[in-house]
A and B are shown apart, each in its own frame.
Chain A
Amino acid sequence: MNLGSPLNSRRILGETGNMAPRTLFEKVWDLHVVAAPEGQSALLYIDLHLVHEVTSPQAFDGLRANGRRLRQPLRTVATVDHNIPTTPRGLPITDPIAAKQIEALQNNCREFGVPLFDVDSAEQGIVHVIGPELGITLPGMTIVCGDSHTSTHGAFGSLAFGIGTSEVEHVLATQCLPQKKPKTMQIHVSGKLAEGVTAKDLALGIIGRIGTDGATGYVVEYAGDAVRELSMEGRMTLCNMSIEAGARAGLIAPDETTFAYVNGRRFAPRGKNWEAAVAYWQMLAGDPGAQFDRVIEIDAAALAPFVTWGTNPGMVVAVDSRVPELTSFAQEADRRAAEQALAYMGLDPGTPIEAIAVDRVFIGSCTNSRIEDLRAAARVAKGQHVNPKVRAMVVPGSQAVKRAAEQEGLHRIFLDAGFEWRESGCSMCLGMNPDILQPGERCASTSNRNFEGRQGRGGRTHLVSPMMAAAAAIAGHFTDIRNWRFQ
Chain B
Amino acid sequence: MQSFRKHTGVVVPLDKVNVDTDQIIPKQFLKRIERTGFGEFLFYDWRFSGDGKKVGDFVLDAPRYAKASILVAGKNFGCGSSREHAVWALTDFGFRVVIASSFADIFANNSLKNGLLTVRLNEEQVAEITRHSKEIENYQLTVDLEILRVEDGQGFAATFAMDEFSRHSLLNGLDDIELTLQQEAEIAAYEAKHPVRAEMKAIAVIV
Q: Which residues of A contact B (CB under 8 A)?
A: 1-2, 34-35, 37, 39-41, 43, 45, 47, 54-55, 57-58, 61, 66, 68, 72-75, 77, 82-83, 95, 97-98, 100-101, 104, 109-110, 113-117, 121, 135-136, 146-148, 162-167, 169-170, 173-176, 178, 180, 182, 212-213, 216-217, 243, 246, 248, 267-270, 273, 312, 333-334, 337, 340, 430-432, 439, 449, 451-454, 457-458
Contacts and interface: CB of A to CB of B under 8 A. Distances in A.
Contact of B31 (A83, A270, A449, A452): A83
Contacts of A180: 163
B104 A216 contact: yes
A312 B176 CA distance: 34
Interface in B184-201: 186-187, 190-191, 194-201
A167 B50 contact: no
Contacts of A148: 80-82, 106
A432 B204 contact: no
B13 to A, nearest CB: 13
Contact of A451 (B23, B83, B110, B200): B23
B30 interface: yes
B22 A74 contact: no
A110 B207 CA distance: 7
Contact of B165 (A39, A77, A449): A39
Interface string B21-44: 011001110111111000000000
A176 B180 contact: yes
B20 interface: yes
B168 to A, nearest CB: 8
Contacts of A83: 31
Interface stretch (B4-12, B71-79, B137-145, B153-161): B71-79
A219 B200 CA distance: 28
Given A164-B106, A452-B22, A173 B87 contact: no
B201 A246 contact: no
B75 A333 contact: yes
Given A167-B110, A213-B79, 5 more contacts: A40-B165, A61-B35, A114-B207, A167-B109, A216-B104
B196 to A, nearest CB: 5
User: Counting chain A CB atoms within 10 Å of each CB, which of B26, B28, B105, B113 scores highest?
Assistant: B105
Contact of A213 (B35, B104, B106, B176): B104
A74 B201 contact: yes
A72 to B, nearest CB: 7
A217 B27 contact: no
B141 to A, nearest CB: 21
Given A267-B199, A312-B20, A246 B187 contact: no
A164 B87 contact: yes
Nearest to B201: A74
B113 to A, nearest CB: 4
A29 to B, nearest CB: 14
B196 A35 contact: no
Given A43-B180, A162-B82, A167 B30 contact: no
A216 B181 contact: no
A40 B17 CA distance: 32
B190 A34 contact: yes
A212 B82 contact: no
A231 B192 CA distance: 35
16 contacts: A41-B165, A43-B183, A58-B34, A66-B177, A116-B206, A121-B206, A135-B199, A136-B200, A146-B82, A163-B109, A167-B110, A170-B177, A174-B187, A175-B187, A212-B76, A340-B16
Contacts of B206: 77, 115-117, 121
B165 to A, nearest CB: 5
Contact of B104 (A47, A55, A246, A430): A246
A97 B81 CA distance: 20
Contacts of A451: 20, 22-23, 80
Q: List the 5 closest pairs (A to B, CB-CB), nearest first.
A: A166-B113, A164-B84, A164-B110, A57-B33, A115-B206
B104 A74 contact: no
Interface in B148-180: 163-165, 168, 176-177, 179-180
Nearest to A34: B190
Contacts of B81: 147-148, 430, 449
Nearest to A66: B177
Given A74-B196, A431-B27, A176 B187 contact: yes
A164 B113 contact: yes
Nearest to B76: A213
Contacts of B110: 164-167
Nearest to A38: B165
A75 B187 CA distance: 14
Contacts of B84: 55, 58, 146, 164-166
A176 B191 CA distance: 11
